[in-house]
């Protein structure tokens, strides 16, 4: 039972939202759209229950990755991504709606990622969401992509998050440490000064001649080398690990790998494994170190993790160890929800709605640098 939300027919900015989330009917259906980067995704969720443990049922979910298109460029081209999203969205909508067995007119809200991300790509999702909202007379909610990553753990959480919590959000575009005081009150306490950690994985993979996105491939090579029980042979820098804050820096690491490769006579498979192992150690150590520092300073009871890099096995194992050592409960998203998806956007929309927060005005615009 969701109590005290004062939720029915409230005005949020210019947007009138009405909900079927009354004391008698506790569920709502959200159609969520994600197009911030190179995944086009649509999900229909049935959301219910109250925080800290709401429930989510996936009625329909489809995702189309553009990886094969961007692969040859080693990164994502915004205008190309936009074109693909525009092409994919109607196909995915059709598929998701069919799978759900309901009609768009039966959903309560349309939620769409408004930022951060690549603006042309974001616009594709926003325009599509607004057309859908108009056609079926549904409120359209702009959602912060990083809130999606932050709350993705909720999908299958079985124990409540305890506050204060520290959240480590690690993706291709972001590396952030967040102090979470409640479901409505969180602030970034540290971030990368240059490249994001996922970007460092992708750029280093390129240097090693591995396909985009590089994270999973580097991780695989690093794990293979680690499993041989051999030490990490290259000593790459851990910039800012000693800085007296919660910030990160990853551009130097990629450059260090580049210079090391230049000095090598050849890049054979074994050397690639060694480089991947040493790179991964250097990339993960600052994340773990600063997370531990934040847990200590803020006496965090919980540790939340989200974003594509949270799929990384080594990072996950280091955070499991951290949680045990520092006696914090660990909340990791299920593997399928670590990288971009629409389910997390639906979850973030539901969290916003049941915490009764202001949801922006009638006209939604793409905000490439939108912050948490
Ligand atoms: O969250 P996400 O899907 O997209 C953004 O919001 O950026 O994250 C994608 C990033 C990519 O940089 C990718 O290389 C990285 O997550 N990634 C990984 C792994 N799986 C994905 N990085 C390291 N290890 C992995 N297993
Ligand atoms: Zn993301």
Ligand 1: does its nearest atom lie under 6 Å from the Cβ of 202?
A: yes
Query: Which atom of ligand 1 is least distant from the CA of 339?
Result: 3
Asked if 175 and 197 touch (Cβ cutoff 8 Å), the reply is yes
Query: Which atom of ligand 1 is least distant from the CA of 196?
Result: 12
Backbone angles phi, psi at 367, to 5 degrees: -125, 100
Instruction: Answer with the residue of higher pLDDT: 14 or 316.
Output: 316
Q: How many CB atoms within 10 Å of residue 29?
A: 20
Q: Where are the alpha helices (DSSP H) in the chain?
A: 67-70, 78-100, 119-136, 145-151, 197-207, 214-227, 251-263, 269-298, 313-326, 343-354
User: Residue range 289-303: average pLDDT?
Assistant: 98
- pLDDT value at position 300? 98
Instruction: Answer with the residue of higher pLDDT: 185 or 233.
Output: 185
DSSP, residue by residue, 178-241: EEESSSS-EEEEEEBSSS-HHHHHHHHHHHTTPPSSHHHHHHHHHHHHHHTTPPP-S----TTT
ω into residue 226 within 30 of 0, thus cis?
Answer: no
Domains of the chain (ranges, CATH numbers): 2-154+340-354 (3.30.420.40), 163-300 (3.30.420.40)
Q: Average pLDDT, whole number, for the chain?
A: 91
Return d(Cα 172, Cα 183) in angstroms, integer.
Answer: 24
Return d(Cα 103, Cα 288) in angstroms, integer.
Answer: 45
Stretch among 21-25, 109-113, 285-289, 356-360 having the lowest mean pLDDT: 21-25
Return d(Cα 361, Cα 140) in angstroms, integer.
Answer: 10
- pLDDT value at position 329? 98
pLDDT for 346 beyond 60: yes
pTM of the predicted model as reported, rounded to 2 decimal places: 0.92
Query: Which atom of ligand 1 is least distant from the CA of 202?
Result: 14
Residue 233's pLDDT band (cuts 50, 70, 90): confident
Return d(Cα 218, Cα 181) in angstroms, integer.
Answer: 35
Q: How many CB atoms within 10 Å of residue 89?
A: 23
Return d(Cα 41, Cα 85) in angstroms, integer.
Answer: 9
Ligand 1: does its nearest atom lie under 6 Å from the Cβ of 333?
A: no
User: pLDDT tens digit string along 265-277?
Assistant: 999 999 999 999 9
Return d(Cα 52, Cα 70) in angstroms, integer.
Answer: 39
Distance 333 CA to ligand 1 centre (A): 13
Counting ligand 1 atoms within 8 A of each CB, the residue from 117, 215, 218 with the most, and so the one to mutate, is 215
Ligand 1: does its nearest atom lie under 6 Å from the Cβ of 340?
A: yes
Residue 17's pLDDT band (cuts 50, 70, 90): very low
User: Residue range 22-31: average pLDDT?
Assistant: 68
Residue 361's pLDDT band (cuts 50, 70, 90): low
Q: CA triplet 27, 30, 35: central angle to 5 degrees? A: 160
pLDDT for 219 beyond 70: yes
User: Residue range 309-322: average pLDDT?
Assistant: 98
Specify the residue with its C-alpha closest to ligand 1, atom 1. 308
Residue 359's pLDDT band (cuts 50, 70, 90): confident
Determine whether 111 is exposed, middle or buried from the number of CB atoms within 10 Å of its CB (0-12, 13-18, 19+). Answer: buried
- pLDDT value at position 115? 97
Return d(Cα 84, Cα 109) in angstroms, integer.
Answer: 24
Q: End-to-end distance of the chain based on CA atoms, in angstroms?
A: 28
Stretch among 15-24, 38-47, 183-192 having the lowest mean pLDDT: 15-24
Instruction: Answer with the residue of higher pLDDT: 360 or 18.
Output: 360
Return d(Cα 341, Cα 318) in angstroms, integer.
Answer: 25
User: pLDDT tens digit string along 241-259?
Assistant: 999 999 999 999 999 999 9
Sign of torsion, CA 45 133 368 295?
Answer: negative
Q: How many CB atoms within 10 Å of residue 276?
A: 28
Count helices and strands (H / E) in the chain.
Answer: 10, 12
User: Residue range 101-107: average pLDDT?
Assistant: 97
Distance 36 CA to ligand 2 centre (A): 8
Q: Which ligand is nearest to the CA of 175?
A: 1
> Closest Cα to residue 43, out of 278, 323, 344, 267?
344
- pLDDT value at position 20? 39
pLDDT for 172 beyond 80: yes
- pLDDT value at position 26? 65
pLDDT for 343 beyond 60: yes
User: pLDDT tens digit string along 124-168?
Assistant: 999 999 999 999 999 999 999 999 999 999 999 999 999 999 999
- pLDDT value at position 74? 66
Instruction: Answer with the residue of higher pLDDT: 211 or 360.
Output: 211
Asked if 215 and 202 touch (Cβ cutoff 8 Å), the reply is yes
- pLDDT value at position 360? 61
């Amino acid at each position: 039972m969701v109590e005290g939300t004062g939720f029915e027919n409230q005005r949020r900015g210019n947007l009138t939202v009405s909900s079927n989330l009354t004391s008698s009917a506790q569920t709502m259906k959200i159609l969520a759209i994600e197009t911030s980067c190179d995944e086009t995704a649509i999900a229909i969720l049935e959301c219910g229950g109250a925080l800290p443990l709401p429930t989510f049922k996936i009625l329909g979910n489809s995702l189309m990755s553009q990886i094969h298109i961007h692969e040859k460029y080693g990164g994502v081209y915004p205008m190309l991504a936009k074109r693909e999203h525009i092409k994919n969205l109607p196909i995915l909508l059709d598929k998701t709606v069919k799978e759900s067995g309901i009609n768009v007119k039966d959903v309560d809200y349309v939620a769409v990622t408004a930022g951060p991300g690549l603006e042309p790509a974001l616009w594709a999702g926003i325009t599509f969401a607004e057309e859908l909202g108009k056609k079926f007379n549904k409120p359209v909610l702009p959602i912060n992509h990083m809130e999606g990553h932050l709350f993705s753990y909720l999908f299958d959480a079985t124990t409540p998050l305890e506050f204060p919590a520290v959240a480590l959000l690690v993706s291709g575009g972001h590396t952030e440490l967040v102090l979470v005081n409640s479901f409505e009150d969180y602030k970034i306490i540290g971030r990368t000064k240059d490249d994001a950690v996922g970007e460092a994985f992708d750029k280093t993979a390129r240097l090693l001649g591995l396909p985009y996105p590089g994270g999973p491939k580097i991780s695989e090579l690093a794990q293979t080398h680690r499993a041989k029980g051999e030490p990490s042979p290259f000593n790459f820098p851990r910039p800012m690990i000693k800085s007296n804050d919660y910030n990160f820096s990853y551009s130097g690491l990629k450059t260090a790998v580049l210079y090391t490769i230049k000095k090598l006579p050849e890049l054979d498979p074994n050397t690639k494994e060694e480089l991947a192992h040493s790179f991964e150690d250097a990339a993960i150590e600052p994340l773990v170190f600063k997370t531990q520092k934040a847990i200590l300073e803020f006496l965090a009871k919980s540790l939340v993790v989200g974003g594509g890099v949270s799929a990384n096995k080594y990072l996950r194992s280091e955070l499991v160890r951290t949680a045990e050592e520092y006696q914090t409960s660990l909340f990791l998203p299920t593997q399928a929800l670590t990288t971009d998806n629409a389910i997390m956007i639906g979850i973030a929309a539901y969290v916003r709605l049941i915490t009764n927060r202001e949801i922006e005005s009638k006209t939604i615009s793409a905000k490439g640098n939108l912050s948490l």
